[in-house]
Amino acid sequence: MHLARVITALVLLPLVLLLIFKAPLILLWAIVMLLALWGFYEYVSMVRLSWGNFFVGAVGLLLTGSGLLHGSLVGALSLWISLLALTIYFLFNFEADRFLLSWSATLAGLIYTALGFFHIFGLLNQYQGRWWLVFLLAVIFGTDTGAFYVGKALGRHKLAPTISPGKTIEGAVGGTLFGVFLGTLVGYYYLYVPIKVLIPLGIGLSIVGQIGDLLESMIKRACGVKDSGRLLPGHGGLLDRVDALIFSAPLLYWFLVFASR
């Protein structure tokens, strides 16, 4: 399993970097939309929602994602249309004892997947956005790698035993240190950002990313599954690989927005 994890990472990394730096923005938007739809599919499968919930939610994702290309007001209109479509669906599939659970779970899945993936696309629209995305990937994947190896070597104290028994405090700290180190290298040499900015930013992104990781662990624990899917050998599903990005991408995006003012 560990060998499959390493091989998958080595195969995907050059492809991801090639797309980030060479693909036109419209292609990157299409890829982000496909990833959001697949992430929502994995979520619906874990939570065991109906296919009707998935299709209505998928339409909502597509509408809201299309709004990204036209501005925030169009995005808000698309989100309203998504809510309207979901409500109409339940008008014809109403079950009093299941409505609130199914309705709220569907909305939660839409918010969970849309916010993260759409902010990743938003990063690409920022000044030097492609390098900022690489910076974010360095922090998050560095955190994940550092937490795995430091946790195995030095982990003694459980971080959240009822949620993810394998995670340790030592691993979380080691992961943050390694993630910040890799992110600082990218940010300093390719974005020319001062280290005094990169270090606290990297720490914040790493911590928020680990919170996102724990959220997905809570979802899996509640659903009684080990992985969100089987898309990536050694890694599980797509959400297993990008759960930290879903939480950290909005933080980095809004940091850049406010920093540019």
List beta partners, residue 232: 236
> E strands of the chain, at which residues?
158-160, 164-168
**pLDDT higher for 84 or 151?**
151
Check: CB of residue 213 under 8 Å from CB of residue 190.
no
pLDDT per position as a tens digit, 215-237: 999 999 999 998 888 877 656 78
pLDDT tens digits, residue range 93-106? 888 878 888 888 88
Q: Does this model's pTM top 0.75?
A: yes
Assess contact for 202 and 139: CB atoms under 8 A: yes
| Alpha carbons 261 and 184: distance in angstroms, whole number | 23
Q: Which of 124, 104, 130, 136 is nearest to 242 (CA)?
A: 136
Q: Are strands 158-160 and 164-168 parallel, antiparallel or unpaired?
A: antiparallel
Question: At residue 73, does pLDDT exceed 70?
Answer: no
Q: Give which of 182, 213, 215, 216 is closest to 199, Cα–Cα.
A: 182
Write down the pLDDT at residue 3. 66
Q: Is 216 helix (H, G, I), strand (E, B) or coil?
A: helix
For the segment 24-37, the average pLDDT, to the nearest whole number, is: 92
Distance between CA 177 and CA 206 in Å, rounded? Answer: 9
Contacts of 173 (CB under 8 A, 6+ apart): 150
pLDDT above 70 (res 74): no
- The whole-angstrom separation of Cα 180 and Cα 198 is 8
Q: What pLDDT digit, counting tens, does each position of 92-148 carry?
A: 888 887 888 888 888 888 888 888 888 898 898 889 999 999 999 999 999 999 999
Locate all alpha helices (DSSP H) within the chain, ordered by sequence. Answer: 2-22, 25-47, 51-67, 72-92, 99-124, 129-154, 169-190, 195-223, 238-259
Q: Which residue has the higher pLDDT, 114 or 80?
A: 114
The answer to whether residues 180 and 135 touch, using CB atoms and an 8 Å cutoff, is no
Secondary structure letter of residue 236 according to DSSP? B
> What average pLDDT does this structure show over 233-255?
87
Q: In the prediction, which pLDDT does 2 show?
A: 60
Separation CA 23–CA 35 (nearest Å): 16
Rounded CA separation 65/42 (Å): 18
Q: How far apart are CA 58 and CA 43, in angstroms?
A: 12
User: Is 58's pLDDT higher than 90?
Assistant: no
The predicted pLDDT at position 235 comes to 62
Neighbours of 241 (CB within 10 A): 21
Distance between CA atoms of residues 227 and 212, nearest Å: 15
Distance (Å, rounded) from C-alpha 62 to C-alpha 124? 19
Token pair recorded at residue 214: 């724990």
Query: Tens digit of pLDDT for each residue in 171-229?
Result: 999 999 999 999 999 999 999 999 999 999 999 999 999 999 999 999 999 999 988 88
pLDDT at position 19, please?
94
What does the pLDDT look like over 35-47, one tens digit per residue? 999 999 999 999 9
Q: For residue 59, name the pLDDT band (cuts at 50, 70, 90).
A: confident
User: Is it the case that residue 51 has pLDDT exceeding 80?
Assistant: yes
